[in-house]
Amino acid sequence: MQSGLLAAEYAGRAHTQGDFSKVVLAGYQRSVLDMLEGELRLSHLLTKLVTWKWLLNLVVRKAARSEEVYNAITHMFASVNQRKKLASPLFYLRLLFV
């Protein structure tokens, strides 16, 4: 949705200027990459973490036993800032004591 809003913004600028050249619209790609870069990096890291089966199993077991952990993980899917906690070793250390 955000990329669509950016596309509309850049199309509006191009229309106002009467110039739809590659130069005028080039900022769109940079804006989209700037907007998504952090989330893409985080998603890549989380993809790598999933390959550690023992860690994934620990998280799933804890979530099944603890409503607090279950709710925390559920909220992480809705919020990028919350999802960043999954990349923190401290998050997994805390799981050991829940």
The closest of 12, 38, 39 to 25, measured between CA atoms, is 12
Name the token pair of 26: 């080039």
If DSSP codes are grouped into helix, strand and coil, which group holds residue 25? Answer: helix
Provide the 8-state DSSP code for 84.
Answer: G
Q: Encode pLDDT of 4-61 as tens digits.
A: 888 898 889 889 999 888 888 888 888 888 888 888 888 888 888 889 999 889 888 9
The pTM score is 0.54
Place of tokens 């559920």: 74
- Gap between the Cα atoms of 54 and 73, Å rounded: 17
